[in-house]
Structure 1
């Protein structure tokens, strides 16, 4: 991915390090807590985005440097040119460094009604691990909220997933 592994830790690694150090995880939102737990169990990145905050199509692409990224502290940053980001039609970066850093703009809130869950794995066997992780999330959504998830594994031959 072109990132320094100790400077930009992936979310699942950061969660595991925090759990090991503090012995507990903070409560954020029931869905986020669930996805964080599954992310740690599989040691795979899981991002959860509020669909209502995404304008138009969401692309995974190299940043130009003009995209706007809202930090959780309320500040605006611009991804470095070439940095892989999740960018919508309005130029909002909803995630940076793949999904290593999610934006405060599309963070799940109490009023969130529809989410896009993104799971990433680039290791050998990653596609199989992602499929199992997605099944675990879908099962948990059915059991906890009686919600049916629609999933799709993206690849070079299947590069798009349509959502409202």
Structure 2
């Protein structure tokens, strides 16, 4: 698998870099630990824990969203949306052991984290500027629904269609993961306000936590940045 990034992305978000993480999963064990990890991250945040660069990092994501025509108050990056939900409700519900673990990393490190079922992909993941003809599979009023994305919107997609709208705001249905997914792809996305060593620490902690529930997993990690495109 090769992750493809449209060069125009770096004009919209100078210094953007991301950690790509391929996981071949193993049998799940000790799944209750994922909720403990999520609760710990949430409690730490609510009690004032966090990194000194975190607020600037999320603010920078808001500015990037404005550059491609999104309104971060209505469609925030996934890390900001998760944080707002936590502040509103006082906790985050357990969804799935794998999802809980990457939500915990997103909360702790103030970083958008996406998880995808790579076996559901057609071709390679591609971060691009939409031309407005791309189709996004979602759910509307409880039923499957297809919608066109906005021209100029930043999207993740494959050869079949859009997998995530407005960069990392809303994930599609087709490539979602759960604990039964065998081959997973995660993307941890950062801007320069987040130090590179923090991105590396988030990735390492994510892998360590996944190994608590999937001891035999195999990983492949790649740093994506402009000079590698």
Aligned pair partner of 2:116 in 44, 49, 55: 49
**CA gap 1:126/1:104 in 2 versus in 1, 3 angstroms:** farther
Aligned pairs, number: 158
What are the Cα deviations for residues 44-100 of structure 1, in whole angstroms up to 9, with x where unaligned? 00000111111011211111212111124422111111111111112x101111112
Q: 1:126: how far off?
A: 4.3
TM superposition score normalised by structure 1: 0.88
What are the Cα deviations for residues 95-127 of structure 1, in whole angstroms up to 9, with x where unaligned? 111112111111113531111101111142343
The structure richer in helix per residue is 2
**Residue 29 of structure 1 aligns with which residue?**
96
**Residue 159 of structure 2 aligns with which residue?**
89
TM superposition score normalised by structure 2: 0.64
**Aligned-pair Cα RMSD in Å:** 1.6
Q: 1:130: how far off?
A: 1.9
Residue pair 1:29, 1:108 contacting (<8 A) in 2 also: no
Which structure 2 segments of 5+ residues have no match?
1-63
Residue pair 2:101, 2:210 contacting (<8 A) in 1 also: no
Residue pair 1:68, 1:76 contacting (<8 A) in 2 also: yes
State which drifts further: 32-41 or 95-104.
95-104
**Residue 31 of structure 2 aligns with which residue?**
none
The alignment status of 1:116 with 2:185, answered yes or no, reads yes
Residue pair 1:141, 1:149 contacting (<8 A) in 2 also: no
Q: Which has the larger radius of gyration?
A: 2
**Residue 219 of structure 2 aligns with which residue?**
149
**Residue 49 of structure 2 aligns with which residue?**
none
Q: 1:41: how far off?
A: 0.6
**CA gap 1:108/1:144 in 2 versus in 1, 3 angstroms:** same
**Residue 59 of structure 1 aligns with which residue?**
126
Tell me, in whole angstroms, the C-alpha distance in 2 between the residues paired with 1:64 and 1:133.
Answer: 33
Tell me, in whole angstroms, the C-alpha distance in 2 between the residues paired with 1:15 and 1:36.
Answer: 8
Tell me, in whole angstroms, the C-alpha distance in 1 between the residues paired with 2:130 and 2:178.
Answer: 26
**Residue 205 of structure 2 aligns with which residue?**
136
